[in-house]
Structures are given as structure tokens and as C-alpha cells.
Amino acid sequence: MIPLGGLGEFGMNCMALRWQDDIIVIDAGLMFPEEELLGVDIVVPDISYLTENRSKVKAIVLTHGHEDHIGGLPWILSELNVPVYGTEFTLAYVEGKLDEHRLLDDADLIEMLPGKRFTLGPFSIMPIRVTHSLVDCVALAIHTPVGVILHTGDFKVDLAPPDGKPFDLQAFAELGKNGGVLALLQDSTNVDRKGWTPGEKAVRPRLDELFAQTKKKLFFSCFSSSIHRVSLALELAHKHGRKVAIIGRSLDNSSEIAQDLGYLKVPQGLIINPGQIRDFPPEKLCIMISGTQGEPMSALSRAAVNNHKFAKIDAGDTVLMSSRVIPGNEKSIYRVIDHLERRDAKVIHDDGTNGLIHVSGHGSQEELKLMINLVKPKFFIPVHGDYRHLKRHIELAASTGIPEKNILLEDGEILEFTKDTATKNGKVTTGRVCIDSGGSIEVVEDVVIRDRQHLSEDGIILPIIAINKRSGKVESLPEIVMRGFGVDDPQVIAEARQIVQRTLESSNIEEKQDYGVMKEKVRNDLKRFIQKSTSRRPLIMPVIMEI
């Protein structure tokens, strides 16, 4: 077993399982970049291990359709075109993603059904239905020659979900009964939360109350993948006599897929076109809008600054944000809330005081313990989380007394199993690959990110030199262009021009005709002067114009 991502960070979930010459990969996620990764759109796992063993990789098997589990697929499939297995809803998301990157025509997407076993080489895989904030999610019980490896995927135990497809407790209990599980890989996201995670229906009473109390327009925002929440909002809008307009590309796509696959039952005439919003009185409208995390170009962010064609937020309107704050997004979310408050809208978010408006999709401590007790694993390996979550999870598992051994595994570590043992044996190359996905999948090298950081801190200086091609003579005093340098001292600029001039004068004709040499000399001399006189290190890019 070799984790390629997702152990020691949130996101980028990707796990390789290998028996002799056969490898299967569980999930292919992405991670959104930290602030210091300037200009990077997404981060995906380094899959050198898979490309080095490309002939052995049999398939990618997906647990569910969230970005941190499927977002790296376009990158991985452009390197390794192997079959992809997923449930119906997961594959519908994957199709849209691959279509966007023009990879759909060559992709081999195979649907798997919860409760129906299928075989890939030496692996026999049983998808087991679990509940999460998205629909059609599964855990994977992978029967290998040495025992069962159970990967929970993301889950919580909801026995009465809105779609009537509950968490399959019985299937897990049977795994425990039939000799137990060799290794349990369990989702660590909510390991810090005591008790149980409430089911999806727990938000209904408070949301119903808010729909009833709202006097004007109701703007309802949730994660576009929270199909249960979208379904509940549609149901409550219908109950309270409000028409629904859906605004935002991700929300529009998700609800369309969910409608096509029968996860959303929409009464005739309930949904209106965004262009029809002005045809209805405010108290008869519910506007479902994307942008719960304050993303700068999302529909909600634009509406908050009165810059959206259809979504106009007026004084007295209610904006209900039915989602959690993802760590790292606090600043942008509160900035949007400030703009909404300026418009005199009533903003309801993270409102645990009078009832729930959002529930997590991940199991809390009691659910995690329940799963361990049900499946009785020999070895326990926490997955999906920062190092501190994995460590906490090991402590939690130890308190149940069931696993013979708890193993804290990190990205790249190789864990070898026999029927009775699990031992770490070496490491493979892992890491992250930064992708700039503007139009195509481009890898952003470390040196590029370093240059961007450099530019953002110290700016750029362009010495512009005009040289006569025939005589090698410098035609005029060099020009100095500065951007983002922050030093506006005419004395420094004048001296910088003199430095460049002196470098040119001290160079022979041969050097002046070799522009590579000239640029390097100018860069070095100017760099020394700038550092000495200003203590800054801007990017210096000499430009030589031939005349």
C-alpha cells in the first residue's frame, strides 16, 4: 500500500495498492493552493511512481465525486490512460470534468454498483454504500490474496438520509463477522469532534423556520455538491410558495446532473430562469446562489458588491449560507458578509444557536469508533487529514482496543502486508505538482513560483539598452524601467543608468556583439549596486534593442 497524497494534508487523496505486477489506484484528488503558491490554480499529487510502473496500473477506483477525490483525474489520465470505476453520480461529475479538458473521448469510464462485486486482476472489490454530504458515495472493501483492505472514503453514519439510501451498516457488520478486516483505512476529517454527526434531515426544522420568517427575497447558498441540501431548499421553497432561480455555474451543473439522475424531484413550474426574477414579488422568490466560500468571482461575491446581472440584493433580503467555513477561507467569507451587511441584508451563517443550518458530511468520534468495532480490523491506518488529525485518530483507535496495531502512514511510505503482519519498507517519490489550468493543463515549476514570489516582494527592473548592430556602439544613455520596486529616488535611477553605462563602456566590441554576455554583465553589476544602495533584490531583466 502506497499513499501518494492525502496523508498529512487535506485534499489530493490518492492511494496505490499493489500485488506483484498489478496496481489499482483509489481516488485521484486535487488540493487548492495555499496563498504562497502565486498564480497556481490547483495542486495534484506527484504520480512518478505510477508513471514508472505504467504497464502495471490496471484502473482508478473512485469513492465519490468531491474535488479532493476526483479533481486530479484530468492530470493523471493525460499521463496514464487507464479505466476509471465510479458510481453513476460520481461518473457524471467526472464526465463534465474530462469534457472540459477534452479528455472524455479517450476515457474508459465504468460504472460500479454498491453491493455488486467486481474483479481487477488479483483484487476483488465490493463497493459498500456510505452516506456523506454528496450522494452515491461508497466505501471499498478490497479482497486481496492476504486479506480485506477496507477504505471508508469520506463518510458519516446517516441511517435516514433524504434520498432513502442509508449507510449500509449490515455490510460492514458482515465484514467483521466473516473473520474481520486486515486493514481499515478511515477518514480522519472530524476526529476532533466528540459525539455523532447529525444526519442531513437535522437541518430541516431551522431552515423551514427561516423560509417562513423571511419577508423579502431569500438567497440560499450551499456547496453545489450538497445535493440533499439543494433538494431540501427546493422542497421548502415549494412549501412556502416561492419560485426558485438557480444562479452560478457549479450549482447549475450539479442540479442538472442530479435532476437527470433522479436525485432531485422538481415540481412543475418551480424553477424559473434568472431573467424572470424581476417578474415576481420579492416574497415569492428563493434564489439559490453559489459562492459559500467567498470565491472572488462567484455569483454571491459579485451580487454582494451589486455586480451581478440577475442577483440583486436589496435592503431587508435574507442571505442564508448553509455551509461550513473551510479553514483558510475565513477572510474572503467575512469580506463577502461585510458587503452584504452594507447592503442591509440579513445574513445567516454558522448559526448553531437556534438550530442547525448546516451539518458536516464526515463522521465524528462515535461513528469512527462504531466502524472500528463493527469491522474488527487487525491493522488501523488513518487517512485524509493533516498530521495532527492522523495522530489524534491513532489515539482514538487505540482507545477502542480492537486493532492489533495502529500505523501512522505518510505520503510515499510503502506498507507491506502479509496475512499477519504490516511493515513499513522504504519510500517512493511523492510530492505535489502545481498546475496552472488556464485552458490547458500546464505544470508550474518551482522556479516559476520562486520568481513570482520574488516579483511580488521586490518588483522588477528593466534596463533598456540600444546597441548599434554594426559598430557595437551604444546609441544613447540606457533607460531604466522599474515596476513594483517601491524606490522612487531620482538619484538611485540616475546612478543605476550610470552603472549600466559604465558596464557597457568597459566591455569590448566582441562582448557587445554577444547579447547573452552583455545581459549577464549588466544584471550582475546592477544587482550589486541595487542591493548595496536599497537592500532590495528585484528581478533584473536587461533588454537589448538592436538598431
According to the annotation, is 68 in a ligand binding site? yes
From the list 151, 228, 349, 362, the catalytic residue is 362
DSSP state letters, 332-390: HHHHHHHHHHHTT-EEEES--SSS-S---SS--HHHHHHHHHHH-EEEEEEESB-HHHH
Alpha-carbon gap, residue 457 to 268, rounded angstroms: 56
Query: Which of 491, 503, 493, 494 is closest to 467 using CA atoms?
Result: 503
Residue 393 marked as a ligand binder = no
Alpha-helix runs per DSSP H in 80-178? 88-100, 169-177
Whether 39 has a binding-site annotation, put simply, is yes
In the three-class reduction of DSSP (H, G, I as helix; E, B as strand; rest coil), residue 289 is classed as: strand
Residue 238 marked ligand-binding: no
Of the residues 136, 187, 411, 458, only one is catalytic, namely: 187
Give me 371's grid cell.
466502524
- 22 annotated ligand-binding residue: no
User: Which of 113, 107, 61 lies closest to 87 in space, CA to CA?
Assistant: 113
The answer to whether the CB of 292 falls within 8 A of the CB of 323 is yes
Confirm whether residue 69 is marked as ligand binding. yes
> CA-CA distances (angstroms) from residue 246 to 26, 92, 100, 222, 409?
33, 20, 21, 12, 43
| 358 closest CA partner among 158, 193, 203, 133 | 203
66 is in an annotated binding site: yes
Q: Answer yes or no: is 64 a known binding residue.
A: yes
User: At a CB cut-off of 8 Å and minimum separation 6, what does 123 contact?
Assistant: 17, 19, 22, 24, 142, 143, 144
Number of Cβ within a 10 Å radius of residue 366: 14
Which element (helix H / strand E) includes 331?
Answer: helix 330-342
The answer to whether the annotation marks 360 as part of a ligand binding site is yes
143 known ligand binder: no
Annotated ligand binding at 361? The verdict is: yes
Consult the annotation and say whether 349 binds a ligand: no
Nearest to 27 by CA among 114, 137, 123, 118: 137
Please give the span between the terminal C-alpha atoms of the chain, in angstroms, as a whole number: 63
Would you call 187 a catalytic residue per the annotation? Answer: yes
Ligand-binding annotation for 41, yes or no, is: yes
Active site residue 488: no
Feature table: binding site for Zn(2+)? 64, 66, 68-69, 132, 154, 384
Catalytic residues: 187, 362
Feature table: binding site for Ca(2+)? 39, 41, 436
Feature table: binding site? 39, 41, 64, 66, 68-69, 132, 154, 358-362, 384, 436
Feature table: binding site for substrate? 358-362
